[in-house]
Structure formats: C-alpha cells, structure tokens
Amino acid sequence: MASKLPDTTKSLGAGAMDVDDGSGGGGKKVAGKWPGFVHFFFVLTVVMCALVYAPRFLSPAVTVDFLGPRQPASGRMAEGQVRSVHGGRGNEGDALVLDNQVNSPCASMGAHGICCDRSDYNTDVCFMAGDVRTDAASLSFLLFPPPNGTANANANATVAEKEEVVKPYTRKWEKGVMANIQEVRLRAARPDEADAHRCDVRHDAPALVMTAGGYTGNLFHAFNDGFLPVWLTVQHLRRRVVLAVLVYNPWWAGTFPELLSGLSRHHVIDLLHDKRTHCFPGAIVGTRFHGILAVDPARTRDNRTLVDFHDFLASVYRDDGASEELVHTTAPAPQQQQQPRRRPRLGLYSRKGTRVIENEAAVARLAQSVGFDVSILETANGAPLSSEYAAVSACDVLAGVHGADLTKLLFLRPGRAALLQVAPLGVPAVARGCYEKATTMMGMHYEQYDAAANESSLARKYAADDVVLRDPEAAKREGGWDLIARVYLGGQNVSLDLDRFGDTLRRLHSRARIAVE
Ligand SMILES: *[C@@H]1O[C@H](CO)[C@@H](O)[C@H](O)[C@H]1NC(C)=O
Ligand SMILES: *[C@@H]1O[C@H](CO)[C@@H](O)[C@H](O)[C@H]1NC(C)=O
Ligand SMILES: *[C@@H]1O[C@H](CO)[C@@H](O)[C@H](O)[C@H]1NC(C)=O
Ligand SMILES: *[C@@H]1O[C@H](CO)[C@@H](O)[C@H](O)[C@H]1NC(C)=O
Ligand SMILES: *[C@@H]1O[C@H](CO)[C@@H](O)[C@H](O)[C@H]1NC(C)=O
C-alpha cells in the first residue's frame, strides 16, 4: 500500500515549533536528528487494520467485539488514598479528575496516590495524583509526599513502594509492536530524593503520557491506537492536560498539529529528549481503548459517543472558526431548505499500487450517471488532514476499496452520510470488522460490496479452479495471514462489474437523495 508519509522537510515546520523540549531557541529541531524515526514510519506503514486484526477475524472463536461487558475493577489501588477529590461529571471547579472511566478501580483515587488499571485486554493505564515529577534518566514519574501542614499531611498518606511499569499503547496483546514501546515507570519517591528532583518546569495541568510510535505511520492506527484513545482518556480535562510524548518526531507533529492543539492547550513535551524535571499535579500514563474505532458511552463518565469524537475532529479541522460544540442533526440546515435540491456527492478514494479499482474512470462515470456528483479523492498525497476533512465531510457517500483511508469515515457527517466499502476477494470479513461498527456508531449507513472472483485481478494470476479464487476461506485456512497480506491485500486489484456495482450505487443514491432533501 502507498505510504502515508508526506514530505518530511515540508512537515517539519508547523509541528516542530510546538514542542517544548528545553533545548532553548524555541524548540526547533534539525531535520538530521530524525532519519531513524522517519524510516521507522515507512516500515510500519505497510501494516494496516486488516493485517493486524486478521488473526482475530480468521478465528471464529475469538470475538472482535471489544465492546462486550467489562469485568469490573480488577486493578490495584495503592495505599494512601487520603480523600476522594472528584465530584460529579466532568471537571468542574478545581477538583482534578484523572480517570474518566466508569467503574474503573482508579475512578475514586485520592489526591495523593498511584493507581493502575490493568483489567483491560488492550491497554494498561496508570494514574498518579499529587506532587508528580519526571526523572528523565530513568523515564520515571516520581510521586513525592505531600508537604507538611496540608490536609494530606497524614502519616498514612504514603504510597506503596512498589514500582509500576507501563507501556502506553493500546495493543497489549500484540508482542511485536509492544516490544518497540518504551516502558514508563511510576513510583513513590522518598522525601530525601526531593533535592535531586527540583522542578525545572512547573505545570498546572496533569500530564498524559502517550507515544507517537507504534503503527502511527498508518492513518487507521494513528486514529485507532493513537488519537481516539488519547481523546477518550483526556477529553474530560478540556485541554487542561500536557501531552508528554514518547518517540516525538516532527513528522508526527507536522501531520497532526490540529489534533494536538485540540487535545491540549499546552506545549507538547518530547519525553525522550527533554532532560529537565517537569512537575505536575498528576499524570496519566497510557490511554483507554473501547474497541476498533469505538467509543462506548457506558464506559465514560460523561456519556461520550463516537459522534462526540467526530465533533472534536470537526472543531479542530474546520477552518471557519466555528469550533467547540457543533450541532449535527438529521434535519437539514435552514439555508439548505431554500436552496434547490443539490445532487448528492460521492467521494471515491483512488488508491495506488494495490487494491486499485482498475476501471475507476468507468466507475466514476457510472456514479455520475446514477445521479451523484463525484469527487475523486487521492490517498496519501501528502495533503494536510484539514483539507482531507473538508473534502470528505462534503460527501454524502464515501466509497473506496478496503484500506486505511476509509478511517476518514470519521470525517463524514453523522446521521446522514454513508460508507461504501469495496472488499476485494478474500477480505470481506476483515474489511467489515475494521469499519462497519464505527460507521453505525456514527448513525450512518454502512454498505459493503464484495468483489467476486471475476472482478479480481487474481483471476489473471491464478487458474479458475485454484483454491485462491475458488474458495478464499479454504485458502486462508491453509495459507494463514501471510497469504492474506501477500495475495489478497498486497497483490490484488479489482475491476468492478458495472451492472452489479450500479445496483449498489442506485440504492445509495436513493438514500442520499432523501438525506440531502
Ligand atoms: C515535616 O514534618 C516532619 C515530621 O513531622 C519534620 O521532620 C519535617 O522537618 C517537616 N518538614 C517541613 C518542611 O516542615
Ligand atoms: C495511620 O494508620 C494507623 C494504622 O493503620 C492508625 O492507627 C493511625 O491512627 C493512622 N493515623 C492517621 C493520622 O490517620
Ligand atoms: C447517557 O446516554 C443515555 C442514552 O443516550 C441516556 O439514557 C443517559 O441518561 C445518559 N447518561 C448521562 C449520565 O447523561
Ligand atoms: C461474475 O461472476 C458472478 C458470480 O460470481 C456472475 O454472476 C457474473 O455474471 C460474472 N460476471 C461476468 C462478467 O462474467
Ligand atoms: C494494480 O494496479 C496498479 C496501478 O495500475 C499496478 O501498478 C499494479 O501492478 C496492479 N497490481 C496487480 C496485482 O495487478
């Protein structure tokens, strides 16, 4: 698949300016410092939703629905919860609520303590409340005892000696990628350590420790394992949080500047390079995860949904300044009522390299003849995400062959738009598993078009009676996910049957026409 990596020198500016790395001189970085990371992203870019989840979709015994009921609280809470500081929902007043998750073992942690929730299958998250200071040398967050004379100056307000170690990434079950995620340590410090850890920088907001590493070079993962989990974890803090980022790099910052400033009003800390002692009133290490591109309202104290995440994206990417709470309704906006009915717009993702629609021009003409205005959307052309947002959010139907760009379904208008995913031969279940649930969680219509053997370029490579064409399920049982990656995902284009695809388009057009009226 094509790389999502834009020109690195070009993207250096915007993001790099935002980092507060303690090097003086405005925190700008030199390009030469990052070739390693850039290479890293290139390598990881070939991985995608289908591939990394393939083992799960392959085995019928393993559910891919991570939204099932959670086991209650099996995390540990350190001793020393002196008083509970949180009140109702959100973060009103000066009470600092670190954990926004319902029924978390850490939801009621005190003003001084360390609590880790390791009960989730996908992710560990640790919370630290009190006098928190970084120790760059050991990549640690130290919790110092509260000063004398405060309400917390209680002999028993000591925290367990045990050190907690967390890797802040949402793929706990996947050894390979987790091996590349740094371990962050959390421990209680002795009062006599204070002299060696005087604050160089004091923050009045808690830290959120996350990574720009992992599979970040792939858009699906950038959202699924990066920004959506971060949003789930800190949106209740309303930008009063400092992002402390592992594997910080200018490509990442330059690709997602709007998201970073939407999540936090503070400078980003480059955790692996910043050697200063940063002090915080609290810290969160790791991020929550609710499922593939999912938000489970029942697990958030403020009842958040995937539509709220869409609204967050809308607020950061819309350039008309209308940010904050956006109204999304299924009713047409007032000015649309006066306008003559417009043709519904279909955005067709044009992939390069693999999973290409070979008769794309004919498909686009077909969509036009059915009644759509058609936009051809290019994948991986290095355009900023804000312009991608504008292009996709203008569509009533987003269509494309399975691939990371369909993650931009998050940019579509909730309640109105539709996603049409074309699944090449052999990957219908995988394709559905990646995007169907998110689409319906946004109140949108999901449609999948499964390419038949005679629409696949594999028909040119394999004999008609070859198991690869005749029975993909059997072929996959034999060849495993190596075969999926190499043949079905990496070595296949499609040429759509215009009669059959036309039926699908006409159906979507009827729906869309009603929605735009
Ligand atoms: C805090 O209290 C301890 C014992 O109660 C005392 O030894 C220490 O000097 C006090 N520290 C300060 C800064 O007052
Ligand atoms: C500290 O804990 C001990 C034993 O658990 C208890 O006897 C004592 O009263 C506690 N002290 C304070 C100040 O709470
Ligand atoms: C959360 O949303 C559900 C369904 O929309 C609603 O019934 C419930 O009252 C909400 N809870 C809160 C705390 O807002
Ligand atoms: C392709 O195969 C399907 C059945 O899988 C069949 O209905 C269709 O007519 C075939 N199309 C062509 C052009 O051969
Ligand atoms: C798919 O199409 C692209 C672009 O036309 C081409 O470069 C590639 O070789 C094709 N792949 C296969 C397996 O035919």
Residue nearest to atom 1 of ligand 2 (CA): 156
Q: Is ligand 2 within 6 A of the CB of residue 158?
A: no
Q: Two tokens at 370?
A: 């059915």
Q: Distance between CA atoms of 383 and 302, rounded to whole angstroms?
A: 34
Closest ligand 2 atom, CA of 155?
A: 13
Which residue do the tokens 């205005």 mark? Answer: 373
Cβ 281 vs Cβ 206: under 8 Å: yes
Query: What is the Å distance from ligand 2's center to 144 Cα?
Result: 20
**What is the model's pTM?**
0.80
Which ligand number lies closest to the CA of residue 452?
Answer: 4
Q: Distance between CA atoms of 486 and 508, rounded to whole angstroms?
A: 32
Rg for the chain, CA atoms, rounded = 24
Residues in contact with ligand 5 (CB, 6 Å cut-off)? 353, 356, 457, 491-493
Q: Distance between CA atoms of 409 and 516, rounded to whole angstroms?
A: 18
Query: What is the Å distance from ligand 5's center to 508 Cα?
Result: 28
Q: Distance between CA atoms of 330 and 417, rounded to whole angstroms?
A: 10
Query: What is the Å distance from ligand 3's center to 412 Cα?
Result: 24
Q: Where are the alpha helices (DSSP H) in 108-188?
A: 175-178
From residue 288, how far is each of 116, 121, 227, 476 by CA, in Å? 12, 11, 11, 32
Which ligand number lies closest to the CA of residue 155?
Answer: 2
Which ligand number lies closest to the CA of residue 191?
Answer: 1
What DSSP element (H or E) covers 516? helix 498-516
Q: Is ligand 3 within 6 A of the CB of residue 88?
A: no
**Shortest CA distance to 284 belongs to which of 169, 107, 126?**
126
Q: Distance between CA atoms of 469 and 456, rounded to whole angstroms?
A: 9
How far apart, in Å, do the first and last CA atoms of the chain sit?
A: 38
Q: Two tokens at 361?
A: 């021009």
Residue nearest to atom 1 of ligand 4 (CA): 454
Q: Distance between CA atoms of 139 and 415, rounded to whole angstroms?
A: 44
**Shortest CA distance to 210 belongs to which of 150, 284, 157, 310?**
284
Q: Distance between CA atoms of 101 and 98, rounded to whole angstroms?
A: 9
Q: Is ligand 4 within 6 A of the CB of residue 330?
A: no
Cβ 45 vs Cβ 3: under 8 Å: yes
How would you write the pLDDT of the chain (517 residues) with one tens digit per residue? 333 333 333 332 333 334 554 443 333 333 334 444 443 443 333 456 656 665 555 544 333 333 333 333 333 333 333 333 333 333 444 568 899 999 899 987 888 899 999 999 999 999 999 999 999 999 999 999 887 655 554 544 556 678 999 999 999 999 999 999 999 999 999 889 999 999 999 999 999 999 999 998 899 999 999 999 999 999 999 999 999 999 999 999 999 999 999 999 999 999 999 999 999 999 999 999 999 999 999 999 999 999 999 999 999 999 654 443 444 444 445 555 555 678 999 999 999 899 999 999 999 999 999 999 999 999 877 789 999 999 999 999 999 999 989 999 999 999 999 999 999 999 999 999 999 999 999 999 999 999 999 999 999 999 999 999 999 999 999 998 899 999 999 999 999 999 999 999 999 999 988 777 6
